[in-house]
């Protein structure tokens, strides 16, 4: 993964706020979103929309691609 392509996406549902990290493919995700890991961006986008959740790219998020996976 390169820093330029890495994005943090905030997902808001009725009972949670969670995040996922993508570079075109979901690389890491909060436990509630773990089923999305490995999917290209189109599939999670449709899943989030179908559930009625909201997602937004965190444009000012820190570069998380270099942080070791710890969860």
Tens digit of pLDDT at every position of the chain (71 positions): 444 578 999 999 999 999 999 999 999 999 999 999 999 999 999 999 999 999 999 886 555 565 555 54
Between the CA of residue 64 and those of 11, 13, 29, 38, 53, what are the distances in Å? 16, 22, 12, 17, 23
> Per DSSP, what are the bridge partners of residue 19?
10
Between the CA of residue 46 and those of 10, 40, 51, 52, 60, what are the distances in Å? 15, 11, 9, 10, 24
What pLDDT, on a 0 to 100 scale, did the predictor assign at position 6? 84
What pLDDT, on a 0 to 100 scale, did the predictor assign at position 65? 60
Long-range Cβ contact pairs of 45-51 (< 8 A, separation 24 or more):
48/11, 51/13
């Amino acid at each position: 993964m390169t820093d330029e392509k890495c994005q943090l996406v905030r997902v808001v549902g009725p009972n949670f706020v969670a995040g996922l990290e993508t570079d075109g493919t979901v690389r890491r995700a909060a436990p509630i979103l773990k089923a999305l890991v490995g999917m290209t961006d189109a599939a999670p986008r449709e899943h989030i929309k179908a559930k009625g959740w909201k997602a937004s790219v965190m444009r000012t998020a820190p570069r998380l691609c270099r942080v070791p996976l710890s969860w």
